Structures are given as structure tokens and as C-alpha cells.
Amino acid sequence: MFQPQPSAPPTTSPAAATLAPTTGAVATLQALVAEGVDTIFGYPGGAIIPIYDALYDFQEQLNHVLVRHEQGGIHAAQGYARSSGRVGVALATSGPGATNLVTGLADALIDSTPLVCITGQVFAHLLGTDAFQETDIINITTPVTKWNYQVTNAEEIPEALAKAFYIARSGRPGPVLVDITKNAQMQTFDAPAYERCTHIRSYRPAPVVRAEYIEQAAALINSAKQPFILWGQGVVLGKAEREFQAFVEKSGIPAAWTILGVGALATDHPLNVGMLGMHGNYGPNVLTNECDVLIAIGMRFDDRVTGRLDKYAKQAKIIHLDIDPTEIGKNVPTAVPVWGDCQETLPLLTALIEPRQHEAWLARFNNYAAQEVDAVIREELFPTSEELTMGEVIQQLNEITGGEAVIVSDVGQHQMIACRYARQNQSRSHITSGGLGTMGFALPAAIGAKFGAPHRPVVAVIGDGGFQMTIQELGTIMQTGVDVKIILLNNQFLGMVRQWQELFHQRRYSFVDIQSPDFVAVAAGYRIAGQRVDDRAALRPALEKMLAHPGSFLLEVMVTKENNIFPMVPQGCSVAEIRLR
């Protein structure tokens, strides 16, 4: 039998420094503080009372935000992580408290958001007995977490949390859940001084970059006649915005973004040719099927972006830069895989490419853009109709904020409008639920985003459907006094589904006609200022009033009931078959 002979010291060195008798609960909070956590979003309950009792003495070091539903708590932690780039932390009790986190975990996993969730659990000796508020949360969350672990003994706590934070924030970030039984929280043990985790032998988040692939990629780029860059959240997660901009400007290649990558290159940069995807811009979609070299950076060829795969960029040689090797070659065949952290690989690539300009090729994108303005954009942003459009609200917002605000959008038609038209000067300026498309994400996420970026104005843009899914978080705003502006675009329908029913199901509007309360009155009940607008003349002044208001504000805008989002790549079509109408 071989014995493993580690040539490096183990990851967390055992008690060399001070040993102090501590409870598991206190050790948990000490770990959070040591990991640089300043804000946690949570909701107490029986199985997590010991941690909450310890938290009572940590109020100077840890700001705990009491939410109104654990789902609100985890979405807030996501918003915090997205706006700050740090690990979001959520606390919940056992049973229903823990299961209420599942949607947020699934959302964070598919959108690569670093989160550490700590759930209380029944006493270890009760596990598997159907005890009160007991659920097998580890097995429930296995498919929706990057890693999870159940702690049944306090001595495991420091190492488990160190591993949790390391896994959550390294490589391709993701959500981690640590389930701590009540006995472990209460148990006293000799806690060693906390040590961060820097290495797990079975986990390699940062690969060694292979020079030959960089060279092959550079050669391909230098010989390309119609190259096209697609970028996604990987550029933001890798904190590689500057390296990315340098690469784009030196190569002269037109670049388009996914909704999670927006802002890494400012929306009005001359080489930024627009948004990808089912409701993306006309040019980027059509010209994907005409480029000769496709350079994908930190994006995963999601099906909303590619349309039907058998007709996607078949004519192009694809270079894929990504930190996750499972994404390379997953959906599209790759000619040159560049596996690595793009903050490292981009400068190496930039050094080898020749400075170029592709004026004629870029002009084609601008040409399509002009067509799109005539067919769709002008009427959406500067409507001549009587009724208000969602687009014009965003347009007005752009003019007032100049692209400086953090926009947090929910899911649906308004999300597509906000993604397409909101102006962003930097990354981490548009927070939205991409891969999972979770309605109800925006309100709690906006709260978290504000805590994560307190010096930036945060504006949530939400539809009448999604708002009602997590409306209880207005209570969190009320209690904390956090300053979140909410624009509620009310078309009195579950708009996106209604659009599909109109276009593909002969207008059979099956249960999309949703009735809403008087939202401004509800907000007032939560002591939040508000106003309703339903005519154009009142819109701009109301927006300015909202943004100037000292504190949260709900602005409900009544928009056209049946408006459709175009352009659109219908399901089962290729990106080149994108419809303008």
C-alpha cells in the first residue's frame, strides 16, 4: 500500500499558534471575519440559534442584514458579490430555511457567482430521523453547488470554512454550502488560529498556460480577414477589463458581449458592436455566420446566444479563451483552446498579435446597426406613440445617469430592454439573472448590490410579474434604510410569455394576464416613497425626483400592454435568421 508523501506542508497547518477554547458558533464567525466578510444576509431559526447568539457579540465586525425570506437573502448575497467582486454570504436555518436557498444556489452556479451559504442543521444524532425542520440539504443542493459539506463536529469548522471560501472564489467562482449541525455550533473546542486555504490537492483552479496555444491563436488572428470577438462574464470575473480593452484596441477587432459581460468594454466604445443573443443586436447575430475567426473570451456559448448549434459559425475557426476546461469544446468545436485565466492569457496574446484595423468589416456592423435603429430602436427609445415604451424609460435614465449607475434587472421583456439599451461605462454595472432567468431576483439583488457598492447609485428595473415574486423584501429596505431606486415597468402582463403566445401560439393568452395591487400604496405601507407615471410629460421629472430622493423610491411606469421585443432569433433558428419584426 502506497503512503502519500506530500512534498509541501499540509494546507492548514495545525495549531502552531494560539489555541483558545471556543464554541463552533464563534469559530464560524471568526472564520468569516478572517476571510474579509463585512456583510451577511440572513434569517434566523431554531437550528441556527447558536450562531445567531454568537453574532450578537460580532455586530461591530459583521453587518447582518435581516431579510424577509431566505430566497431574498441569497439573491441579496448574489447582488453583493456581483457588484463588489467579493464572496457573498447568506445564513439560513435548517429545513425550509435551507430549501429556500436552492433557487439562489442554482442561479449562482449557472452564473458563476462566488457565494458561501451557511445553514443550520438538526443535532447530529437526529440526522436521518425526520426530525423537526430536518432536510437532507446536502443531497438536495449537490447538483446546484460547486461544493458542499456537512459539519457534525466543531473541530471541522475552521478547515471547512477555509475550504469553502477558497473554492467559492477561485477558478471559475461558484456557490458553496456548509451545513453545520446544532451540536457542532454549541460544542466547545480548542480552536487553532484561523488559516486561509490556499491549496486543495484534487482541485486545480488556475492551470499552467501553454505557450503553443497562445502562438497558434495569435497566428490565426493575424491572418484573419473578418475576425470577431465575443466576450462574456469571464472578463469581469478575471478582473481583466484593462487587458481586454488593450487586446481589442490593438487587434482592431469588433467585439460583442453577452448580458453578463456587458460593460467590460464601455457600451459606446467604437469597437463595441453590441449585444449577442436571442434578443441581441442585429449585426452581431448575422455576422457571426460570416466571420472567419471567432475569438470567444470568458463566455460559454449558451443556447440563447448560439441559436441552433448546427448552423452556428460553421464557417469560422474558433479560438476559445476560458478558465473552465469543461466549457471548451462543450457546445462548439474549437480550433484553438486557450485554457487559462484571461487576465494572464490576454496580455500574452496581445503581445503576439499585430496592430490592425478592420474598417470595412467594422462598417458592416455599423450598417446593420443603422438598419436596426430604423426598424426597431428609434421607435422604442424615442416613440411617437401615445403610450410609454420600456425603452424610452431606459433612454431617459441613461441621459440622467450618464451610464454611471448600477442597474439591476429582473427577468423578462424589461430585462431585454434594459440589457440592450442601458448605457454602461464599466463592468459590474448591470446585474441580472442570466443562465437561470430567476424572476424576483432583482429586488433583493439590488439591496445586496447597494451594500456591495455603497458609493454608486443602484437602480432596480423590474416588471410587474417579477416584483411580486419577492415583494416582501421591501421590508428589508424599510428596516435597513438602504437606498435603492426601483423602476417598475408595468405592462400588466407576464410580457415575455405573452410575446411567445402572440408569435407562436396564435395569441392564445393562457394565464399571462396578471392583476397587480396598487404598488405605490404597497410601497407607502412599507414607508417607501413612490410615484406612478403614465404619461410622457411626467416621466423625466419623475425620474429626476426618484434619483434625487434621499432614500429608496418606487417609480411605477405604466407602459404599453402589448409590445414585443425585437430583434429576435426564434427558437430552433440559426442566428442568421434573426427577425427584425
Partner 1 sequence: MERQEYNITAYTENQVGLLNRIAIIFSRRKINIESLNVSPSEIEGIHRFNIVISETEEVVEKLAKQIEKQVEVLKVYFNPNQDVIWQEMALYKVPTDVIAEKVLVERLLRENGARAVVIRKDYTVFETTGHREETDNLIKALQPYGLIEFVRSARIAIIKASDGFHSKLQEFERREPSEEVAENEFLNDRKQVFTM
Stretch that binds partner 1, among 6-14, 401-409, 429-437, 536-544 (CB under 8 A): 6-14
In the block, cell 451545513 appears at 179
Residue 496 appears among annotated catalytic residues: yes
Backbone angles phi, psi at 541, to 5 degrees: -60, -35
User: Which residue out of 496, 546, 556, 568 is catalytically annotated?
Assistant: 496
Contact 347, 243 (CB under 8 A): yes
Nearer to partner 1 by C-beta: 339 or 493?
339
* β-bridge partners, 568: 579
Residue 567: asked if its preceding bond is cis (omega within 30°), the reply is yes
Nearer to partner 1 by C-beta: 3 or 510?
3
Q: How far is CA 138 from CA 54, 135, 168, 197, 509, in A?
A: 24, 9, 16, 22, 40
CA distance 277 to 301: 10
Task: Retrieve residue 377's grid coordinates.
Answer: 430602436
User: Which residue out of 133, 216, 371, 479 is catalytically annotated?
Assistant: 133
Closest approach, Cβ 282 to partner 1, in A, equals 33
Contact 114, 174 (CB under 8 A): yes
User: Which residue out of 61, 132, 225, 544 is catalytically annotated?
Assistant: 132
* Among residues 16, 208, 360, 548, the one that binds partner 1 under rule CB under 8 A: 208
Q: What order do you get walking across the sheet with 317-322 strand by strand?
A: 272-275, 255-257, 227-231, 293-297, 317-322, 336-339
Q: Does 326 bind partner 1 (CB under 8 A)?
A: yes
Nearer to partner 1 by C-beta: 61 or 198?
198
Stretch that binds partner 1, among 41-49, 196-204, 260-268, 447-455 (CB under 8 A): 196-204
Residue 502 appears among annotated catalytic residues: no
Q: Does 210 bind partner 1 (CB under 8 A)?
A: yes
Site string for partner 1, 369-388 (x = CB under 8 A): --------------------
Residue 472 appears among annotated catalytic residues: no
Q: Does 6 bind partner 1 (CB under 8 A)?
A: yes
In the block, cell 455586530 appears at 59
CA distance 478 to 472: 10
Subset of residues 332 to 351 that bind partner 1, contact rule: CB under 8 A = 337, 339
* Among residues 46, 207, 347, 457, the one that binds partner 1 under rule CB under 8 A: 207
Q: Does 198 bind partner 1 (CB under 8 A)?
A: yes
Task: Retrieve residue 114's grid coordinates.
Answer: 462566488
Residue/partner pairs of 245-249 with CB below 8 Å, 24 or more apart = 245/269, 246/346, 246/347, 246/350, 247/346, 247/347, 247/349, 247/350, 247/353
Stretch that binds partner 1, among 92-100, 220-228, 321-329, 392-400 (CB under 8 A): 321-329
Subset of residues 119 to 148 that bind partner 1, contact rule: CB under 8 A = 138-139, 142-143, 146-148
CA distance 63 to 134: 28
CA-wise closest residue to 259 among 411, 398, 115 = 411
Residue 70 appears among annotated catalytic residues: yes
Nearer to partner 1 by C-beta: 213 or 467?
213
Q: Does 204 bind partner 1 (CB under 8 A)?
A: yes
Residue 451 appears among annotated catalytic residues: no
Nearer to partner 1 by C-beta: 1 or 548?
1
Nearer to partner 1 by C-beta: 3 or 59?
3
Subset of residues 153 to 182 that bind partner 1, contact rule: CB under 8 A = 167
Q: Does 199 bind partner 1 (CB under 8 A)?
A: yes
Alpha helices in 407-518 (DSSP H): 413-421, 442-452, 464-469, 474-480, 495-504
Q: Does 200 bind partner 1 (CB under 8 A)?
A: yes
Which positions lie near partner 1, rule CB under 8 A? 1-8, 138-139, 142-143, 146-148, 150, 167, 198-204, 207-208, 210, 212, 324-326, 330, 337, 339
Active site residues: 70, 132-133, 182, 496
